[in-house]
A and B are shown apart, each in its own frame.
Chain A
């Protein structure tokens, strides 16, 4: 008969005391700073520095290519506030942003609610939905430019062949048509972002909540309002914030389609700053860009405070 050796009771493993760097990294705060450092460094280099430089340049009379320039305080901003093109630019940017974002939100939410259901090809549809978003804007803008072409627009050709119109549609040659055309293209490009973001939020809504509400006799609308909406509310708000910021700072679509014309009637901050910068007036161009910041900052702060307060 063999006797099993009696095992010595296990001794608790002694952790080696961290020393030096290990001791520092063992604490949460230094580790957090260390992990944040690469991101902060990149942000500082590629965001904070250009922004700071932009603010500084906006207070100078710097012209492209001229080495000498002076600090002129707020003169550029005074100049801009009396500049009728800048006033028009501000109005256009607000119209462009606050007209398109609600459409993008509503259409995006509708699309997300549809795609949240399972049906034939629903996965394929979800993937396809992203196309307008993932195609580089410069390319999709060129496609819109062809659609809006004053000579070769397929819409004009089609409608003329059907006898509905005599002359080509003036998509971009009148101020109202041009702004409407820009908004339409912007909505087309922006809807997928809302749809995908909201779709992700919808997937997080517990199905049993819906079932319980349905058992209690809640209508589809009540379930959407009282069950779905509260869960996706923050996603909707954050998506709206991003969309407003992106639309406010849009450049490619407007530049490709109208370059701010006709007669400056579709300039937004980005295109007007580009026009001034490209044509040498760097100080004023920087002032145009910097002017966007306080407006967006106020909007971001209000929206984010609202999100936090609700949390």
Chain B
């Protein structure tokens, strides 16, 4: 009797495209035992394969992988080669699709609502909290990957896991640090060009000198997902504010310290910053830096990597790179009254439940996150992606070049979006609507820090209080 009910449930799950959770719920509603429910999950192909298990993918299949465009093009080519290599071994055709970062979520939305799209998706930051119902549960695989790399950093777990469960496998993330021109900073009054201003106040002061020299600080504050929030969240935390308290509901955004800190930033903007920054996305500040328009900007290590390539005569930029990498140094973000912080959220790879090729998708993620394949990919990133666990931080790619050292150490001062609450669905929504970033942009435009923060707090209240 029970077997028949399990068979019926498997058929229903296949027809209705139930997720693992959906099957469990339905099994519960049907009064099936836990063992029977598990059997239905396995028979429906919703269980993640075990790490190290022999590939069991059927031949002549196609899977597609959606990811954000790489800022290190060589790594993108390397990933393509890896995907092809895996596909050739198993007789699976792998298609990779790289799109602009701000457009990834719209593509995911269309896929999950239409029930068709990429089989594997590179999730960013807290996105698993938005789409977990459409992602194949991968507890076993994610735990195995974590164990093999010495566990996950807290910032990884807090951004990717959904209520303690894994629906995607973390792979690390691009990090954030100040890339700056040592020569310009020295000329502007920095005593030791390798010791960056320790506080935001000091940076703003030296930024005023830099702007007088015609080489201001550059900060992207457009509606984009990388560098603008990389600054805005960190500056907010450094100035004694958070989106919310630990209870997840009480807004802690409109604090006197933050208003004061914001006013300092607003005052510093015309004096120390390139004022076109309000329109910059994640790549505009790279262009500005490498075209010698600015002296410093918050970024991943892609600026440095591109400058090195240009020096070798191998630049892939569609503009002239005129900056010598020997003049570039990096520093962690300065401190405010509450200390220094950096916003970090891990990227992760998910197999999607709507995919008819879940098995192949999971096999690929399993294969790719094995040390033999994942470490070379990290190395191809040339330090742009920092790893998800401490077991990989001693790789030569992270320790070999002292100029890149700050990128691997920022994990110690990292917080997740939504802090001090969890990185949940609402934190993802706040991030997606650029509320924190836009508070800064609005303050600059209006000149009124208090009003901009009040407006931002009201928007946070409408989401976190909903």
Q: With the chains together, A83 CA to B223 CA distance in Å?
A: 18
Task: Contact check, A259 vs B223: say whether CB atoms are below 8 A apart.
Answer: yes
Closest Cβ of chain A to B428, distance in Å, is 7
Q: Quick one: which of B106, B112, B224, B277 contacts A274, CB cutoff 8 A?
A: B106
Task: Contact check, B109 vs A150: say whether CB atoms are below 8 A apart.
Answer: no
A258 within 8 A of B: yes
A151 within 8 A of B: yes
Residue among B108, B223, B277, B287 with max Cβ neighbours from chain A (10 Å): B223
Q: With the chains together, A84 CA to B455 CA distance in Å?
A: 8
B23 within 8 A of A: no
Closest Cβ of chain A to B290, distance in Å, is 9
**Chain B residues within 8 Å of A84, by CB:** 455, 458-459
Chain B residue at smallest Cβ distance from A264: B438
Task: Contact check, A173 vs B223: say whether CB atoms are below 8 A apart.
Answer: no
Q: Quick one: which of A152, A258, A282 contacts B287, CB cutoff 8 A?
A: A152
Closest Cβ of chain B to A68, distance in Å, is 9
B445 within 8 A of A: yes
**Chain A residues within 8 Å of B223, by CB:** 258-262, 264, 275
Q: With the chains together, A65 CA to B17 CA distance in Å?
A: 12
**Chain B residues within 8 Å of A262, by CB:** 221-223, 278-279, 438, 441, 445
Q: With the chains together, A280 CA to B434 CA distance in Å?
A: 14
Closest Cβ of chain A to B116, distance in Å, is 13
Q: With the chains together, A216 CA to B462 CA distance in Å?
A: 69
Q: Quick one: which of A67, A173, A260, A278 contacts B277, CB cutoff 8 A?
A: A173
A241 within 8 A of B: no
Closest Cβ of chain B to A139, distance in Å, is 15
Task: Contact check, A261 vs B222: say whether CB atoms are below 8 A apart.
Answer: yes
Closest Cβ of chain B to A64, distance in Å, is 4
Closest Cβ of chain A to B136, distance in Å, is 13
Closest Cβ of chain A to B111, distance in Å, is 9
A170 within 8 A of B: yes
Q: With the chains together, A258 CA to B462 CA distance in Å?
A: 25
Within 8 A of A (CB), among B196-235: 214, 221-224
A171 within 8 A of B: yes
Asked, given contacts A261-B223, A279-B105, whether A150 binds B276 with beta carbons under 8 Å apart, the answer is yes
> How many interface residues does chain A have, given as a range?
35 or more
Q: With the chains together, A166 CA to B215 CA distance in Å?
A: 12
B339 within 8 A of A: no
Q: With the chains together, A84 CA to B223 CA distance in Å?
A: 17
Closest Cβ of chain B to A141, distance in Å, is 14
Q: What does DSSP make chain B's interface, helix, strand, loop or mixed?
A: helix
B134 within 8 A of A: yes
**Chain A residues within 8 Å of B102, by CB:** 259
Q: With the chains together, A173 CA to B280 CA distance in Å?
A: 8
**Chain A residues within 8 Å of B86, by CB:** none
Asked, given contacts A65-B112, A150-B284, whether A168 binds B433 with beta carbons under 8 Å apart, the answer is no
A281 within 8 A of B: yes
Within 8 A of B (CB), among A152-196: 152, 166-168, 170-175, 178
Chain B residue at smallest Cβ distance from A79: B462
Chain A 252-290 interface mask (CB, 8 Å, partner B; 1/0): 000000111111110000000011111111100000000
Closest Cβ of chain A to B168, distance in Å, is 13
Task: Contact check, B276 vs A173: say whether CB atoms are below 8 A apart.
Answer: yes
**Chain A residues within 8 Å of B183, by CB:** none
B308 within 8 A of A: no
Closest Cβ of chain B to A169, distance in Å, is 8
Task: Contact check, B293 vs A278: say whether CB atoms are below 8 A apart.
Answer: no
**Chain B residues within 8 Å of A259, by CB:** 102, 222-224, 281
B432 within 8 A of A: yes
Within 8 A of A (CB), among B101-137: 102-103, 105-106, 108-109, 112-113, 130-134
Task: Contact check, A278 vs B276: say whether CB atoms are below 8 A apart.
Answer: no
Q: With the chains together, A79 CA to B463 CA distance in Å?
A: 11
Asked, given contacts A261-B223, A262-B221, A278-B106, whether A174 binds B278 with beta carbons under 8 Å apart, the answer is yes
Chain A residue at smallest Cβ distance from B286: A151
Chain A residue at smallest Cβ distance from B104: A278
A46 within 8 A of B: no
A221 within 8 A of B: no
**Chain B residues within 8 Å of A124, by CB:** none
A66 within 8 A of B: yes
Q: With the chains together, A172 CA to B221 CA distance in Å?
A: 12
Q: Quick one: which of A64, A66, A79, A263 contacts B278, CB cutoff 8 A?
A: A263
Asked, given contacts A150-B288, A173-B275, A274-B106, whether A265 binds B445 with beta carbons under 8 Å apart, the answer is yes
Closest Cβ of chain A to B453, distance in Å, is 13
Task: Contact check, B133 vs A278: say whether CB atoms are below 8 A apart.
Answer: no
B7 within 8 A of A: no
Task: Contact check, B433 vs A279: say whether CB atoms are below 8 A apart.
Answer: yes
Task: Contact check, B441 vs A261: say whether CB atoms are below 8 A apart.
Answer: yes
Task: Contact check, B133 vs A170: say whether CB atoms are below 8 A apart.
Answer: no
Closest Cβ of chain B to A113, distance in Å, is 38
**Chain B residues within 8 Å of A82, by CB:** 462
Task: Contact check, A175 vs B445: say whether CB atoms are below 8 A apart.
Answer: yes
Q: With the chains together, A229 CA to B276 CA distance in Å?
A: 45
Q: Quick one: which of B221, B279, B429 contacts A170, CB cutoff 8 A?
A: B279
Q: With the chains together, A278 CA to B459 CA distance in Å?
A: 18
**Chain A residues within 8 Å of B133, by CB:** 65-67
Q: With the chains together, A63 CA to B432 CA distance in Å?
A: 14
Task: Contact check, A152 vs B445: say whether CB atoms are below 8 A apart.
Answer: no
Q: With the chains together, A268 CA to B274 CA distance in Å?
A: 27
Q: With the chains together, A281 CA to B426 CA distance in Å?
A: 11
Closest Cβ of chain A to B460, distance in Å, is 13
Task: Contact check, B293 vs A83: say whether CB atoms are below 8 A apart.
Answer: no
B59 within 8 A of A: no
Closest Cβ of chain B to A234, distance in Å, is 40
Q: Quick one: which of A65, A151, A258, A279 contacts B432, CB cutoff 8 A?
A: A279
Chain B residue at smallest Cβ distance from A172: B279
Q: With the chains together, A132 CA to B240 CA distance in Å?
A: 51
Closest Cβ of chain A to B241, distance in Å, is 18
A-B contact pairs, 6 of them (CB 8 A): A79-B462, A166-B214, A170-B275, A171-B279, A262-B445, A282-B109
The 8 closest A-B pairs by CB, nearest first: A279-B432, A278-B106, A150-B276, A263-B441, A172-B279, A173-B279, A173-B278, A262-B278
Apart from the given pairs A167-B275, A275-B432, 17 other A-B contacts in the complex at a CB distance below 8 Å: A79-B462, A85-B433, A150-B274, A151-B276, A151-B288, A151-B291, A151-B319, A152-B287, A152-B291, A170-B279, A178-B279, A261-B438, A262-B279, A263-B441, A277-B109, A279-B130, A279-B428
User: Which residues of B line the A interface, CB within 8 A?
Assistant: 22, 102-103, 105-106, 108-109, 112-113, 130-134, 214, 221-224, 274-281, 284, 287-288, 291, 293, 319, 425, 428-429, 432-434, 438, 441-442, 445, 455, 458-459, 462
